[in-house]
Structure 1
Amino acid sequence: MGENKHTNRLIQESSPYLLQHAHNPVDWYPWGEEALQKAKQEDKPIIVSIGYAACHWCHVMEHQSFEHEAIAAVMNEHFVCIKVDREERPDVDAVYMDALHAMGLQGGWPLNVFLTPEAKPFYGGTYFQPQQWVSLLKNIAEAYQKNREKLDQSAEQFVQHLNRSELDKYGLGQRNFLVREDDFKLMGYNFSTRFDKKLGGMGQAPKFPMPTNYLFLLRYYSQTGDQTALNHLNLTLREMAFGGIYDQIGGGFARYSVDDAWLVPHFEKMLYDNGQLISLYAEAYQATRETLYHDVVYETIGFVARELMSGEGGFYSSLDADSEGEEGRFYTFTREELQAILGAEEPLFSKYYHVTAAGNFEHGRNILHRRSTDEAFAEENELEVDVLEDMVQSWKEKLMEVRAQRVRPGLDDKILTSWNALMLKGLADAYHVFGNKHFLELALQNARFILARLKEGEKLYHNYKEGKATIDGFLEDYALLARAFTRLYEVTFDEQWLQEAKALVDYSLENFFDEAEGMFFFTDKRSEKLIARKKEIIDNVVPASNSVMATNLHFLGLSYDEEKYSSLSDEMLAKVKDLLVKEPSHLSNWASLYFYKLTPTAEVAIVGPAAPEMRAELSAFYLPNMLLLGSETGEGSQIPLLEDKVAIQGQTTVYVCYNKTCQLPVHTAADALKQLKNRQQDSKFPAL
């Protein structure tokens, strides 16, 4: 056993989070039949402790309690102890997080829930200090012996709550499908009431980047010309890119900001944030031509490719916040360190990045951040802009060299299908906007990896590590990957990707769809049965899998002329519409779908030898409600929307269509753009 005094069953797992606990004195089990059976056989309550590798307070509770032999002894004597990586098992996490909310408690991680041997929850909480934890363990062990009947009754009530439909919980249900300008305007207005007009974002600290919120604002602006929406979008994207939440030296975003000014991040970097923020900043660049957004996209892709990409082409999950026992140490600098690195240029650097001798963070260290554009800073300091830009680039290179010698934050090297899909779409979106072939190469490498390692027949797996994929795919895997493949088709015109997207949606309809409610379950009907089978309706940092699937149905319904897809998408949106109008910031991906349906989606088919070049020309313009299809030959297509579309007289031809009605075919991107812009202009209406 070497240096490790204890080794438990987690040593057999692939999750880095579970492996972190493999040498705890706690007799941890992974979630599974062995642990659940043991609880029944020994008639012991279960502790389910849920966290993830980049979770700071998960580490703290491990060090304070789970590594402590006396505390572990209490846990082992009275409980069957199960560790869960929430990123590997979002289904388990969703059930017990919902249970915690039903108990009237605030959610978060670490999530610690006490269950009966039948896996029914009766009490829970998040982080506990060691003495609190020991006291709670002893109280629950005693209550389980003396008040078993009461605990069982309580657990049964929570199970009933957990099995209540999400639609029922929010008072939603079947409505006649009707999209109205007034409702769309009201969404924009209700959204605006939560703006932080001074510092960007929504509400107060802590502040999370919520990409789907700002994608909706972009689309709302494109439809209404509402300057308030555009101003707030630009304020938020600029403040995030200038703030400490953005890695000013190496690119990429941290998980969230603990303050309202985006200055002090919780330093972990998650793949799902960065994939979506690449999409957001690329689309924002397309709409505004703001060079800052261009730089953020390029630097963030650089970070992901450098630090989160596996040799096989998959993307790892996250980087930890801590290194050398300190949060943010890898990314922060003291003034003295900077003087040694930069010499005579340090004062200008420190002015540019707001470094102080005392530091703006712990231990006299500085979080680098900006407060002005390069143009403003150059003018203030009597520099030419291009000279300043060269200096900034040189500073970044020097600091990256220094960081390369530091102890790196821990890497969570599991690969998740859903998060890879978000990054894949980010890369495809970036290629669509910027035309950089490296972005497309990364996207294709990742797409091929997913098909080779995470798909078996029609079925997806959720996770992959060291050659093994072990957990059945969830709805988020199917939905987000179908969305990414649809986008990949649009930027390559390789029909394989659209066919793959359709196959994923068809599998989901067969294995996830609830006919009774007209929504999709989160888990496959063939997968492990938990005490509740949940549905994901509310959009969060990652959009709800049902909103993504409804969006897939909309676009694939158009491409394949599948009325059943289109009508199901309509019905799903109709069910959430009442809440959507009132609370658009909690259903912002649904709100974008509402935008797509408000005016007909442009169906643009490009046929002929110059199809890729013409697609690239059209991509230079912001046309957010457009479906792109194409073929260089016009022959052999399996896509109904391309049927009967030919290159007239051998010339590359563009067909701009709405509601299956096409305008006159044209032969230049400029003429096609004129048709699109005229229609877009005609469909606009003012905001409230």
Structure 2
Amino acid sequence: MSNTYTNALVHESSPYLQQHAHNPVNWVGWSEDILKLARESNKPLLISIGYAACHWCHVMEHECFEDPSVAEIMNSHFINIKVDREERPDIDHIYMDALQMMTGSGGWPLNIVALPDGRPFWGATYVKKNDWMEVLTQLASLYNSDKKRVVEYAQNMEDGIKAINLVELNNQKDLIDIDELSTSVKNWSKYFDLEMGGYNRAPKFMMPVNLNFLLHYATLQHDEAILDYVDVSLTKMAWGGVYDQVGGGFSRYSVDAKWHVPHFEKMLYDNGQLASLYAQAYAATGKELFKEVVEGIIEFVSKELTNQDFGFYSSLDADSLDKSGKLQEGAFYVWEKEELVQLLEDKFEIFASYFNINEYGYWEDKNYVLIRNRSFKQVALDHELSESQLQEIITESLSILKITRQKRPAPRLDDKVLTSWNGLMLKGIIDAYKYLGKGEYLSLALKNAQFILQHLTTTDGGLYHNHKDGKSSINGYLEDYASVIDAFTALYEVTLEETWIETAMKLTNHVISNFYDADNGMFYFTSKKDTYVIRRTVETYDNVIPSSNSIMAKNLFRLSRFFNEENFEKITHQQLKNVQNEIRRNAQSYANWMQLALYFNQPFYEIAITGSEVHEKLNELQRSYIPNALISGAEKKSNLPILKHRFESPDTLIYLCEKGQCQLPRSRSKEVLTQLRQSALH
């Protein structure tokens, strides 16, 4: 099939950019050469930022960017740059801050008009065709007729973009304490939806970083109310349509307050973090539902988001072709009642009760999104079935639906590999192995870790950010290093293979050399070797993904214990002090930092195992939820400082230590777990 139009995006690696390669708009990718051309030609930039799974990005492309009359205006007056926000989060940070300053809100597609040097002076998200043509014509006229006014506005925007991201060195002596953390949690909890979980609003995002902290906090503080809230949130999310009941894995968020109708795109970063969270929750509670969710996530990622070399793809689109051949959001996932009746026959009545093929589960246009609102036991009682009988009916029904769904046109796949998201997914699989004990999960984790080493590592010991079709082209950001260091450290803890933590240490030293700012004690998002527009961002807010600085701070804390590195602890201590006033003001945006604060405020243990039965003892210990400890071990010898002088006895011994100060070693895992439980009671 020949295309009427082809632009420079045909040479880009990003699937999102390639989707626009045959627009009549003369799109180009972001590059220093393009910015230089803009300055020489004195043409303003039109920067449009989105991502492959973005529904409204597709809508605006179809309505505007595929239209030759729209393209004529864009091509005549602007240099048009398309950006994949997932490939270039450094650029997205800048212009999202700008948009929020201009309009008070954000989102994608993110459309910015800027001076040739990149300083923005107008922004919006989705814009309808006629409005888009009108506003671009007006902006082009303004730029040509009153450039002084435009430059003044852009200068003010530049000042604001820099000011909004300033992090100052906090010289206060005291660190935030446990009482202040508890006050922050209490203030934060006013926004909790105690009936349905999450926040008391719609849309609802899962926010795994928040629930991860709250699980840790409530467990160690014995806060039953917070534990109940975490349990309700995880249960209702797992029961909801936001979790794919047929194929496993989570969508990005639900548009309603009951986790029912998702915005149907599935992102790797959500599923990686949620696999980790649900695995930890299973270890903490023993709740079978949480285990099933972990298994469902990993089955989904293994089948749908894994390449032949065991790298993980980025996402599945929200849209797919419906029965009439039109792209519709959720078409792959939803069901009509008549279809279910035909497919399930005598099983339909039970299935319909279990998954609410009724008013509660109805969405729109005759479509239902599967959602639960009762326990397995309750449904069995309602229908006078044993739980095993109900399980058989539901399992058979879901198998029928899965086979049927596989015949539908699948959502589009974003098959680029992002290092940071692979790190998050790797950590999720490691936690799944750690708490569920399935050997195939460890095998998958090791294969993905090898993929990272082979395909995402630079010749100078750093990391790339992206990989597609055998090529990596973008230097790694702090988020890439932080998530991989976290995952490799965790991989050492479940294998005791020291190469993983040694690699984590090398990457950490690379980060300190290339990203650390001694003036404010934080890490830049981009390497000092790379160019930037307007500012070099310092990322501190924990959002759907924890901030790169908070992940890095936790890495430094843990590595300081493995390697007895006082400088690492000094850096992470200062990082926490720099944001602790923000924790007091806005806890919900600093949950990962708050977990670091728990490390500093409560006992944090190093568990060291030595002797011939080291792996047996490791397996016994790591099934328990111990959020305030790390594990090391070796049979006969080790190069790790944490294991120094631990091989003097022929017996297998377990040492429980705090910053190198150890209790008498024990030979039985149960005794160590008892010590940990007793210490948690004080």
The corresponding residue for 2:483 is: 480
Question: 1:518 and 1:494, CA in 2 relative to 1: closer, same or farther beyond 3 A?
Answer: same
Q: Take 2:41 and 2:672, find their aligned partners in 1: how far apart are those partners? A: 71
| Alignment map for 1:261-276 (pairs within 5 Å) | 261-276=258-273
The corresponding residue for 2:324 is: none
- Does 158-167 or 443-452 show the bigger shift? 158-167
- Does 133-142 or 185-194 show the bigger shift? 185-194
- Whether the 8 Å CA contact 2:260–2:361 is kept in 1: the answer is no
- Does 552-561 or 34-43 show the bigger shift? 34-43
* AA partner of residue 35 (structure 1): I
Q: Take 2:241 and 2:511, find their aligned partners in 1: how far apart are those partners? A: 40
Q: Percent identity?
A: 44
Given the alignment of the two structures, is residue 514 of structure 1 paired with residue 517 of structure 2, yes or no? yes
Q: Take 2:339 and 2:648, find their aligned partners in 1: how far apart are those partners? A: 63
Q: Deviations over 1:214-273 (max 9, x none)?
A: 111111111211111011001111110011100011111000010111111000000000
The corresponding residue for 2:643 is: 642
- Whether the 8 Å CA contact 1:188–1:220 is kept in 2: the answer is no
Q: Take 1:357 and 1:344, find their aligned partners in 2: how far apart are those partners? A: 21
Q: 3-state DSSP class of the match of 1:594?
A: helix
| Alignment map for 1:515-664 (pairs within 5 Å) | 515-633=518-636, 635=637, 637-646=638-647, 648=649, 650-664=650-664
1:638 Cα offset (Å):
1.9
Q: 3-state DSSP class of the match of 1:114?
A: strand
Q: Take 1:515 and 1:597, find their aligned partners in 2: how far apart are those partners? A: 22
Q: 3-state DSSP class of the match of 1:17?
A: helix
- Whether the 8 Å CA contact 1:172–1:579 is kept in 2: the answer is no
1:389 Cα offset (Å):
1.0
- Does 47-56 or 33-42 show the bigger shift? 33-42
1:357 Cα offset (Å):
8.9
Q: 3-state DSSP class of the match of 1:252?
A: coil
- Whether the 8 Å CA contact 2:316–2:413 is kept in 1: the answer is yes
Q: Take 2:451 and 2:257, find their aligned partners in 1: how far apart are those partners? A: 39
1:38 Cα offset (Å):
2.4
Q: Take 2:174 and 2:302, find their aligned partners in 1: how far apart are those partners? A: 43
- Whether the 8 Å CA contact 2:246–2:398 is kept in 1: the answer is yes
Q: Take 1:374 and 1:143, find their aligned partners in 2: how far apart are those partners? A: 63
Residue 290 of structure 2, aligned match among 266, 272, 293: 293
Given the alignment of the two structures, is residue 221 of structure 1 paired with residue 224 of structure 2, yes or no? no
1:584 Cα offset (Å):
1.3
| Alignment map for 1:55-94 (pairs within 5 Å) | 55-94=54-93
- Whether the 8 Å CA contact 1:335–1:357 is kept in 2: the answer is no
Q: 3-state DSSP class of the match of 2:49?
A: strand
Gaps of 5+ in 1: 683-688
Given the alignment of the two structures, is residue 665 of structure 1 paired with residue 665 of structure 2, yes or no? yes
The corresponding residue for 1:422 is: 424
Q: Take 2:71 and 2:438, find their aligned partners in 1: how far apart are those partners? A: 54
Q: Take 2:175 and 2:2, find their aligned partners in 1: how far apart are those partners? A: 66
* AA partner of residue 106 (structure 1): S
The corresponding residue for 2:415 is: 413
- Does 17-26 or 500-509 show the bigger shift? 500-509
Q: 3-state DSSP class of the match of 1:317?
A: strand
The corresponding residue for 1:246 is: 243
Q: 3-state DSSP class of the match of 1:97?
A: helix
| Alignment map for 1:71-470 (pairs within 5 Å) | 71-164=70-163, 166-168=165-167, 173-324=170-321, 325-356=327-358, 360-456=362-458, 457-470=460-473
Q: 3-state DSSP class of the match of 1:535?
A: coil
Question: 1:172 and 1:566, CA in 2 relative to 1: closer, same or farther beyond 3 A?
Answer: closer
Q: Deviations over 1:47-84 (max 9, x none)?
A: 00000000000000000000000000100001000000
Gaps of 5+ in 2: 322-326
Question: 1:165 and 1:136, CA in 2 relative to 1: closer, same or farther beyond 3 A?
Answer: closer
Q: Take 1:121 and 1:465, find their aligned partners in 2: how far apart are those partners? A: 31
- Whether the 8 Å CA contact 1:172–1:578 is kept in 2: the answer is no
1:191 Cα offset (Å):
2.2
Q: Take 1:105 and 1:68, find their aligned partners in 2: how far apart are those partners? A: 29
Q: Take 1:192 and 1:611, find their aligned partners in 2: how far apart are those partners? A: 42
1:358 Cα offset (Å):
11
Q: Take 1:176 and 1:191, find their aligned partners in 2: how far apart are those partners? A: 26
- Whether the 8 Å CA contact 2:361–2:371 is kept in 1: the answer is no
Q: Take 2:274 and 2:359, find their aligned partners in 1: how far apart are those partners? A: 33
* AA partner of residue 555 (structure 2): N
Q: Take 1:23 and 1:275, find their aligned partners in 2: how far apart are those partners? A: 33
* AA partner of residue 225 (structure 1): H
* AA partner of residue 330 (structure 1): F
Q: Take 2:243 and 2:275, find their aligned partners in 1: how far apart are those partners? A: 12
The corresponding residue for 1:686 is: none
1:647 Cα offset (Å):
6.2
Q: Deviations over 1:281-320 (max 9, x none)?
A: 1111111111110110011111110100111110000000
Q: Take 2:604 and 2:624, find their aligned partners in 1: how far apart are those partners? A: 16
Q: 3-state DSSP class of the match of 2:206?
A: coil
Q: 3-state DSSP class of the match of 2:632?
A: strand
Q: Take 1:499 and 1:190, find their aligned partners in 2: how far apart are those partners? A: 41
1:348 Cα offset (Å):
1.4
1:531 Cα offset (Å):
2.1
Q: Deviations over 1:366-395 (max 9, x none)?
A: 101111111111011100101111221111
* AA partner of residue 447 (structure 1): A
Q: Deviations over 1:604-653 (max 9, x none)?
A: 001112111111111222211001001122x1x221010101162x2211
1:167 Cα offset (Å):
4.2
Q: Take 1:620 and 1:216, find their aligned partners in 2: how far apart are those partners? A: 19
Q: Take 1:663 and 1:28, find their aligned partners in 2: how far apart are those partners? A: 64
Q: Take 1:8 and 1:34, find their aligned partners in 2: how far apart are those partners? A: 16
Question: 1:108 and 1:309, CA in 2 relative to 1: closer, same or farther beyond 3 A?
Answer: same
The corresponding residue for 1:39 is: 38
- Whether the 8 Å CA contact 2:169–2:521 is kept in 1: the answer is no
Q: Take 1:176 and 1:656, find their aligned partners in 2: how far apart are those partners? A: 30
1:349 Cα offset (Å):
1.0
1:36 Cα offset (Å):
1.5
Q: Take 2:46 and 2:465, find their aligned partners in 1: how far apart are those partners? A: 24
Q: Deviations over 1:511-555 (max 9, x none)?
A: 011111110000001112322111101101000001111101100
1:102 Cα offset (Å):
2.1
Q: Deviations over 1:191-213 (max 9, x none)?
A: 21110112110130011010011
Residue 496 of structure 1, aligned match among 499, 503, 506: 499
1:359 Cα offset (Å):
7.2
- Whether the 8 Å CA contact 2:170–2:574 is kept in 1: the answer is no
* AA partner of residue 464 (structure 1): H
1:31 Cα offset (Å):
0.4
* AA partner of residue 214 (structure 1): L
- Whether the 8 Å CA contact 2:276–2:431 is kept in 1: the answer is yes
- Does 20-29 or 572-581 show the bigger shift? 572-581
Q: 3-state DSSP class of the match of 2:365?
A: helix
TM-score by length of 1: 0.97
- Does 75-84 or 389-398 show the bigger shift? 389-398
Q: Take 1:616 and 1:499, find their aligned partners in 2: how far apart are those partners? A: 22
Q: 3-state DSSP class of the match of 2:408?
A: coil
